[in-house]
Amino acid sequence: MLYTGKGDDGTTKLFDCPQGERINKSDFVFEVLGTLDELNSSLGYAKALSKKSNDTLSMETQKISYEEILETFQQSLFCIQAELGGSDIHATKAHILYLEKVIHEIEALLPPIKSFIVPGGGETGAYLDIARTIARRTERQLIVLLHKKERIVSNDSIVFMNRLSSSLYALARFANYQEGYSEKNPGYR
């Protein structure tokens, strides 16, 4: 069943709630969980767009589709959601290393960044830029949650979110490059 009706009074529960205890849905943790869900859904849409263009990245002598890369990112986000929900699961150093590998592979193929870049280009690249901005917002919210000390947030989860937005930026640049779009710098006019 898709609904239980238990949350109709504006409350819900997390994994670590004592038996029978419910939490108000207005608690900040649910804002962060909702933004993580929004980010995960945006990656799902970027994944669908990448199927149309067959975007791939060569990593360690094999071609990996954007679909596979973004799926890996999504799975990692579920670990952070579980952590915020009170589970022992969280992002790990291996998750962070994967993001860094993606960034390094792309940096080796593209010219260095010398200025801000106007978002846009192809569908995949443009939407990855949107996902990047959602990732940045999510990271800021995680930091607020950490400072409020309302939930435990591991350092690996914070680092993961920081690297995720960098990875999405790199993927957006590379998708536009693969699709033949030139980067444009702001004119400040």
pLDDT of res. 98:
97
d(CA 168, CA 120): 13
Of the candidates 106, 112, 168, 109, the one whose C-alpha atom is nearest the C-alpha of residue 137 is: 168
Of the candidates 116, 97, 82, 115, the one whose C-alpha atom is nearest the C-alpha of residue 167 is: 97
pLDDT of res. 63:
87
Please provide the CATH number assigned to the domain covering 22-110+119-178.
Answer: 1.20.1200.10
69-111 pLDDT, tens digit each: 999 999 999 999 999 999 999 999 999 999 999 999 999 999 8
12-23 pLDDT, tens digit each: 787 777 787 888
